[in-house]
Amino acid sequence: MAMQNSSKKSMSQHWDDYQPTKSTLAWACVGAAVAAIVVGFSWGGWVTGGTSRTAATTAGDVARGELASAICVERFNAAPDAAARLVEFKALTDGYKKRQFIEAGGWATMPGQTTPDRRGAEGCSTALAA
């Protein structure tokens, strides 16, 4: 009976006695690295450099469009004939024609630019239509 007790090892004794080979350790490290990469890109929010550049460019374009839109609305409202132009603008039914009206009026052309900002004109048109 004493033989049986000595042959049974606890889990901690098995852990203490375990000595992995170098190849086992190397494969465990490779597996851990692959698991970290999979988890990082799947759930960790990691992205590639190309994806981050695309997101930054899109965010910059959207922010520039919002700023141009706010400037456009301010310039439209500051015009001496703003009330009459607003009535004329709201009489238009097509969104494309509304954007053209804003662009033709010069309100969507930002300082230092020679052409109207398309996103700014669209945002301005939406804000004025509300």
pLDDT tens digits for 113-125? 899 989 999 999 9
Q: What are phi and psi of 101, to 5 degrees?
A: -60, -45
Does 25 fall in a domain? no
Q: What is the pTM of this model?
A: 0.66
Q: What is the pLDDT of residues 104-114, one digit of tens each?
A: 999 999 988 89
33-60 residue pLDDT tens: 999 999 999 999 999 999 999 999 999 9
Per-residue exposure over 78-99, b if at least 16 CB sit within 10 Å of its own CB, e if not: eeeeeeebeeebeeeeeeeebb
DSSP 54-82: HHHHHHHHHHHHHHHHHHHHHHHHHSTTH
- Domain range for 94 is 49-129
Q: Is residue 93 assigned to a domain? A: yes
Tell whether 5 is covered by a domain: no
The yes-or-no verdict on residue 3 having pLDDT over 60 is: no
Number of domains observed in the structure of the chain: 1
